Amino acid sequence: MRRSFLAAGLGSALLLAGCGPMPQQQQFSGNRGPGCDTSFEVANRTNQTVRELYFSQSALNDWGRDQLGERVLGPGDTMRFRANHAGNYDFRVVWANGRGAELRNVNVCRAAVVNVFGNGLRAD
């Protein structure tokens, strides 16, 4: 009988040990590095249509493909995008009249919106 009480007590202790507090999940605030949310919006704050939009990692020397494809970004329109990697990106827009503007070294972990103005681009 003494053995069964000892075994029951040991079993209960093992079960309770496994019921301890869950490990804390790591909380991030501000800039989170490689695990950051790389989504952002591009907002056309002009009265001109944006015909082309490019963005690529700042370390690359190539704009890559037009991110709008067959679409355009009309006056007052906003579109949502997601960069493939964390870090700094360069942005370029070309309006329907052929004029363009660029913004370089935008950290997509920090910027939520790339605003298109008549005199250039600004990340916020």
Condensed to tens digits (0 to 9), the pLDDT of residues 61-90 reads 999 999 999 999 999 999 999 999 999 999
Contacts of 61 (CB under 8 A, 6+ apart): none
Domain interval for residue 113: 33-123
Tell me what the pLDDT averaged over the chain comes to.
Answer: 82
Q: SS3 sequence, 19-61?
A: CCCCCCCCCCCCCCHHHCCCEEEEEECCCCCEEEEEEEECCCC
| Tally of domains in the chain | 1
CATH number at residue 114: 2.60.40.2890
Q: Look at residue 107 and tell me if it is in a domain.
A: yes
User: Do the Cβ atoms of 68 and 91 come closer than 8 Å?
Assistant: no
Q: Look at residue 24 and tell me if it is in a domain.
A: no
User: Do the Cβ atoms of 75 and 86 come closer than 8 Å?
Assistant: no
Contacts of 118 (CB under 8 A, 6+ apart): 46, 48
Give residue 69's pLDDT.
97
The radius of gyration of the chain's CA atoms, rounded to the nearest angstrom, is: 26
